[in-house]
Amino acid sequence: MEASGTVREPIVVQPDEGRVYAMGPMRAIFKADLDETAGGYSISEWWLEPRTRGPGTHEHPEDHVFYVIAGTLSLRLHDGAWRRVAKGGYVVIPGGTPHDFQNQGSEPAGFIAFTSPGGFEESMTRIEAALSAEDLRP
């Protein structure tokens, strides 16, 4: 229950549902965000085709937890070293940590991102436009 005394309704999001942001060989599908979670978090699914770079090194105040659901995700954190995270692996990225992700492999890679607090998704329209205009192939 929220502090105001209102009760949020449970939601079910089917595999083909969500808000899609297409960025060439990368796409994000937001399954729940500010409205559904009272601003607490967002949940998104990210897919990268083989040999697709990500958004470049960036940081933001929100925490991320990535859970790799397909392929192998390459992840660069604050120390600049690339790490390979296989299907089933988790990554915890505290807010303010510089990070980047890519699919350096030959198979599609996918991950679920849990971002807290919610609100990161409000930047997705701008991010989608910027990354759609770039060649995301290394």
Q: What is the mean pLDDT of each run of 10 residues along the chain (138 residues)?
A: 68 94 96 91 97 94 97 95 97 97 97 94 90 88
Q: What is the pLDDT of residue 2?
A: 47
Tokens found for residue 134: 């770039």
- Print burial letters for 105-132: b (CB count within 10 Å at least 16), e (below 16): beeebbbbbbbbbbbbbeebeebbeebe
Q: What is the pLDDT of residue 9?
A: 87
Domains defined for the chain, CATH in brackets:
19-132 (2.60.120.10)
Which amino acid, one-letter code, is at 23?
M
Beta strands in 71-134 (DSSP E): 72-76, 82-86, 90-93, 100-103, 109-116
Grouping H, G, I as helix, E, B as strand and the rest as coil, residue 14 is coil
